[in-house]
Chains A and B, each alone.
Chain A
Amino acid sequence: MTGAALTIRRPVVAGRAFAVVVPPTVVVSLIALAVVLAWASVPTLFTSYDPAVGVPADKFLPPSLDHLFGTDQLGRDQFARVVFGTQSSVLSALVAVGIGVIVGGAIGLVAGFFAGWTDVALARVVDVLLAIPSFLLAVVIVSSLGFQTINAAIATGVSAVAVFARVMRAEVIKTRRAVFVEASALQGGSRGHILFRHVLPNASRSVLTLAVLQFGLSILVIAGLAFLGYGDPPPASDWGLLISSGKDYPRAPWLVLFPALVTVATVLSINRISRWLRKTS
């Protein structure tokens, strides 16, 4: 990267050019995220090693050109394990965010739009969810559903429902009072029409930036659950699991260092992008 700001020009409208300047840190973040997504979709392009098969003679090799992130106690290439672990880590974060957005968004939409008793009842549910520490809630849910990464994802999603419901409700209440909503009612619009065509599109904007932020957070929470053994058991190679098993070998610090760095870099990039989106939208 040259560090220069990238400028995207939209087509000239109404005689005025809208120029969106993308700051250099956001460009770096976007590149980092693109790499992670590529790892998740086509891991075989990035490494020729099999993440599950090791060469016992090559165990605990420090990072080198042959093994970028070194090798583990069974002689497996750590870089290959990180790359192949990406899919499950990213996918489970997406599932978590999806549950949060859809369930939380629906609760917020209904509560904000219909107000009255509906709002009071749903607000209590949300308050209860908020009162339980989200990580604890996730641990409880995984314990009852079974120790699998997908269950960890569901648990993370459920614990995020309250946050999305809150934001959605606030946005819906703001939009519902807008003049153009009343105008649509005067124009013959039914409640359903107003709710889905006017209120939802306008209210969902800030929910979407929150979703990006929550995506980063979910990766962390799921990695944390995997670290504690609440995800898929080995030989799966979720980032959190890699860090967890690496910690048993203090003489090979790269086993912890590299998966941790990848996780931190991904989450930081997502946070940076989310903050930028919120500022520009």
Chain B
Amino acid sequence: MTSHDLLRVDGLSVSYGSTPVVFDAGFSLARGESLALIGESGSGKSTIARSILRLLPERARAQGSVQFQGAEILSLPERRFRPLRGRQIGFVPQDPANALNPVRRIGAQAHEAAALVEPRDARARRLLILDTFEKVGLSAPQRVYDSYPHQLSGGMLQRVLIGLALIPAPALIVADEPTSALDVTIQKRILDLLTQLQIERGIGLLLITHDLAIAGERTERIVVLKDGRVQDAGATGEVFAAPGSDYTVRLQADAPALNPERYSALRADRLPVVGAPPRIEVSGLTKTFSADGEAVKALDDVSFTVPAGTTHALVGESGSGKTTALRTLLGLEHPDAGTLLVDGESVVGRSADAVRGIRRHLQLVYQNPFTSLDPSWRVGAIVHEPLERYRVGARRERATRVAETLAAVGLTPAHARRRPAELSGGQRQRVAIARALVLEPDVIVLDEPTSALDVSVQADIVEVLLRLQAERGLTYLFVSHDLALVRQVADSVSVLQNGRVVESGPVESVFSDPQHEYTTSLLSAIPRPGPRIPTELARTA
């Protein structure tokens, strides 16, 4: 067995300065096999990938053994490792937008990768590059070759990067969260491409991801990491059927794609919602932006209604208009046409003061808790701010209310004295929810409230939101691109594409019987663990 191993990691420990981050990690990957390293932020998965590529920062110390094609590479001098990096071990980075040099054409950067192949003339290299671009599914290779990175979409850039990794025909590809910056349907296509390359070319694929569902769908073996220690390892099917650690069980339970019914009990706790009066009514909403002299319709005749006490989801990919819709609802953008009613009162065409009055009952939780909280304020002051601005209650009353609200989102009084930088991502988002909640609004608009967070943290936040909805009869407008999560939390859904509502209705019916092909493609992008995809692709290949 060992002689067939493409990559073998044994007893790998890495520390940054005096802080150990990986303890005694070990796994192996055969030629043409795929392996997923799963873990949340800080679990050490990227550190392991960097040790394999020998790209650790200087202050890091790695011990143990990493063997590539039977040869030890961890202790190799840099001079002798360089022929391997790029040529034998390819790397696909996480964020395609930052991985390419913005001031050079794609073609010029591809020639750098092509220079790793044996010396050939520029014309042959150019043909090789164009050929590779075509193989990774870029339909106009010459146009891509002549473009600058900003002229291409995220999905195309990720294909370019996969192409760059493939040009020297490596035996192993390390992909570090290759799809986390991309839309769901593009994510599916990129993963399909990686799987196809793995099967067709017999390339070993080391996929680093935080998403258990993707790992289950795409890889043959998985290694689950937590705090730098291996929790579980083995064939994917076996680990899924019989998880060897509590952590894996928890990860499985927290992954939205694997548990559509996870919150049904919590949701059943809510007041009966049948026949509730509409709290938000949006009809005929149209908004046009002008970009480069061209008019772009961000919203085109968008209508939806949200009954009181329910959750309505706006679903779509980037550019679908979902963010514009909620910004218009909050009065941050002015619509060209259409009506927006909150509790029967129009948001459009009112004075600044009147909008301020409506906003008191209409609060927003931002997507990214790392930017939505003022870093120079303490948590207590952040939650206190809305009360002070709206002059709610006396001083003492406000303090009690801040404490109560913090308790309601699961934070202790000790947290109130900290600054955002001293909190984790999940705690920060709880603070943001508390800030929205403290005015006791009727409606909370949630703009992808969990997309910047780890899965298990996401599960905690969703639980807090649903419990608050049950306790306080809140109405949620939930904006998301994650259909698996929408299926778990929403009652009704509107699917947006290019500013139009292509389909809407109760979640159950839209998800079980989609009418529009765009909805179908979004739904098929939800990862489904099992051996389905590789065999399907093998058949078509």
A residues sitting closer than 8 Å to B (CB atoms) are 13-14, 178-180, 182-184, 186-190, 193, 198, 201-202
Stretch of B50-58, B223-231, B365-373, B497-505 lying at the A interface: B365-373
Q: How far is the CA of A39 from the CA of B138 in the complex (A)?
A: 71
Consensus secondary structure, chain B interface: loop
Which residue on A lies nearest to B331, using beta carbons? A186
Most buried by B among A13, A182, A183, A193: A183
Q: How many Å from the CB of A176 to the closest CB on chain B?
A: 13
B residues within 8 A CB of A186?
A: 330, 332, 359, 363-364
Q: How far is the CA of A236 from the CA of B216 in the complex (A)?
A: 81
Question: Once the chains bind, are B418 and A179 in contact (CB under 8 Å)?
Answer: no
Which residue on A lies nearest to B438, using beta carbons? A187
Stretch of B74-82, B90-98, B163-171, B382-390 lying at the A interface: B382-390
A residues within 8 A CB of B371?
A: 178-180
Q: How many Å from the CB of B5 to the closest CB on chain A?
A: 38
Q: How far is the CA of A13 from the CA of B423 in the complex (A)?
A: 9
Q: How many Å from the CB of A109 to the closest CB on chain B?
A: 15
Known contacts A179-B366, A201-B376, A202-B375: does B424 contact A184 (CB below 8 Å)? Answer: no
Task: Give 1 or 0 for each of B258-299: 1 = CB within 8 Å of chain A CB.
Answer: 000000000000000000000000000000000000000000
Question: Once the chains bind, are A187 and B374 in contact (CB under 8 Å)?
Answer: no
A-facing residues in B477-535 (Cβ within 8 Å): none
18 contacts between A and B (CB under 8 A): A13-B422, A179-B366, A179-B368, A179-B371, A179-B372, A180-B374, A183-B373, A183-B432, A184-B385, A186-B359, A186-B364, A187-B363, A187-B435, A188-B356, A188-B389, A193-B389, A198-B374, A201-B376
Question: Once the chains bind, are B386 and A188 in contact (CB under 8 Å)?
Answer: yes
A residues within 8 A CB of B375?
A: 180, 202
B residues within 8 A CB of A189?
A: 385, 389
B418 touches which of A13, A178, A190, A202 (Cβ 8 Å): A13
Question: Once the chains bind, are B366 and A183 in contact (CB under 8 Å)?
Answer: yes
A residues within 8 A CB of B373?
A: 180, 183
Question: Once the chains bind, are B424 and A183 in contact (CB under 8 Å)?
Answer: no
Question: Once the chains bind, are A183 and B372 in contact (CB under 8 Å)?
Answer: yes
A residues within 8 A CB of B372?
A: 179-180, 183
A14 touches which of B356, B359, B374, B422 (Cβ 8 Å): B422
A residues within 8 A CB of B432?
A: 183
Task: Check: B85 CB closer than 8 A to any chain A CB.
Answer: no
A-facing residues in B423-442 (Cβ within 8 Å): 423-424, 432, 435
Q: How far is the CA of A71 from the CA of B372 in the complex (A)?
A: 63
Q: How many Å from the CB of A37 to the closest CB on chain B?
A: 28
Question: Once the chains bind, are B359 and A184 in contact (CB under 8 Å)?
Answer: no
Q: How far is the CA of A198 from the CA of B372 in the complex (A)?
A: 12
Interchain pairs with CB closer than 8 A, number? 51
Which residue on B lies nearest to A16, using beta carbons? B422
Q: How many Å from the CB of A158 to the closest CB on chain B?
A: 30
Task: Check: B360 CB closer than 8 A to any chain A CB.
Answer: yes
Q: How many Å from the CB of A173 to the closest CB on chain B?
A: 16
Which residue on B lies nearest to A198, using beta carbons? B374
Q: How far is the CA of A188 from the CA of B358 in the complex (A)?
A: 10
Given A180-B371, A180-B373, 4 further pairs, Cβ under 8 A: A186-B330, A188-B386, A190-B389, A201-B376
B residues within 8 A CB of A179?
A: 366, 368, 371-372
A residues within 8 A CB of B424?
A: 14
Q: How far is the CA of A198 from the CA of B385 in the complex (A)?
A: 11
B residues sitting closer than 8 Å to A (CB atoms) are 330, 332, 356, 359-360, 363-364, 366, 368, 371-376, 385-386, 389-390, 418, 422-424, 432, 435
Q: How far is the CA of A273 from the CA of B389 in the complex (A)?
A: 39
Closest 10 CB pairs of A and B: A188-B389, A187-B386, A179-B371, A201-B376, A180-B374, A179-B372, A14-B422, A13-B422, A188-B390, A183-B372
Q: How many Å from the CB of A117 to the closest CB on chain B?
A: 21
B residues within 8 A CB of A193?
A: 389
Q: How many Å from the CB of A277 to the closest CB on chain B?
A: 16
A residues within 8 A CB of B435?
A: 183, 187
A residues within 8 A CB of B376?
A: 201-202
Q: How far is the CA of A187 from the CA of B386 in the complex (A)?
A: 5
Question: Once the chains bind, are B418 and A188 in contact (CB under 8 Å)?
Answer: no
B residues within 8 A CB of A184?
A: 374, 385
Known contacts A198-B374, A201-B376: does B359 contact A188 (CB below 8 Å)? Answer: yes
Q: How many Å from the CB of A184 to the closest CB on chain B?
A: 7
Q: How far is the CA of A237 from the CA of B163 in the complex (A)?
A: 72
Which residue on A lies nearest to B423, using beta carbons? A14
Known contacts A188-B359, A188-B386: does B332 contact A182 (CB below 8 Å)? Answer: yes
B residues within 8 A CB of A178?
A: 371
Q: How far is the CA of A189 from the CA of B375 in the complex (A)?
A: 17
Q: How far is the CA of A186 from the CA of B356 in the complex (A)?
A: 8
A residues within 8 A CB of B356?
A: 188
Which residue on B lies nearest to A204, using beta carbons? B376
A residues within 8 A CB of B422?
A: 13-14
Question: Once the chains bind, are A187 and B332 in contact (CB under 8 Å)?
Answer: no
Q: How far is the CA of A186 from the CA of B333 in the complex (A)?
A: 13
Q: How many Å from the CB of A71 to the closest CB on chain B?
A: 53
Q: How far is the CA of A180 from the CA of B356 in the complex (A)?
A: 17
Q: How many Å from the CB of B386 to the closest CB on chain A?
A: 4
Q: How many Å from the CB of A185 to the closest CB on chain B?
A: 8
Which residue on A lies nearest to B370, using beta carbons? A179
Q: How far is the CA of A183 from the CA of B428 in the complex (A)?
A: 14
Known contacts A186-B364, A187-B386: does B374 contact A202 (CB below 8 Å)? Answer: yes
Known contacts A13-B418, A14-B424, A182-B332: does B374 contact A188 (CB below 8 Å)? Answer: no
Most buried by B among A14, A190, A201: A14
B360 touches which of A14, A188, A201 (Cβ 8 Å): A188
B residues within 8 A CB of A202?
A: 374-376
Q: How far is the CA of A179 from the CA of B374 in the complex (A)?
A: 9
A187 touches which of B368, B385, B418, B423 (Cβ 8 Å): B385
Which residue on B lies nearest to A187, using beta carbons? B386
Q: How far is the CA of A171 from the CA of B390 in the complex (A)?
A: 29
Question: Once the chains bind, are B330 and A187 in contact (CB under 8 Å)?
Answer: no
A residues within 8 A CB of B330?
A: 186
Q: How far is the CA of A187 from the CA of B382 in the complex (A)?
A: 10
B residues within 8 A CB of A14?
A: 418, 422-424
A residues within 8 A CB of B359?
A: 186, 188
A residues within 8 A CB of B374?
A: 180, 184, 198, 201-202
Q: How far is the CA of A10 from the CA of B335 in the complex (A)?
A: 50
B residues within 8 A CB of A180?
A: 371-375
Q: How many Å from the CB of B439 to the closest CB on chain A?
A: 8
Q: How far is the CA of A202 from the CA of B419 in the complex (A)?
A: 13
Q: How far is the CA of A193 from the CA of B356 in the complex (A)?
A: 15
Q: How far is the CA of A179 from the CA of B363 in the complex (A)?
A: 14
Q: How far is the CA of A13 from the CA of B379 in the complex (A)?
A: 14
A residues within 8 A CB of B332?
A: 182, 186
Which residue on B lies nearest to A189, using beta carbons? B389
Q: How many Å from the CB of B334 to the closest CB on chain A?
A: 15
Q: How far is the CA of A187 from the CA of B383 in the complex (A)?
A: 10
Question: Once the chains bind, are B389 and A183 in contact (CB under 8 Å)?
Answer: no
Q: How far is the CA of A60 from the CA of B390 in the complex (A)?
A: 74
Q: How many Å from the CB of B436 to the closest CB on chain A?
A: 9
Q: How many Å from the CB of B377 to the closest CB on chain A?
A: 8
B residues within 8 A CB of A13?
A: 418, 422
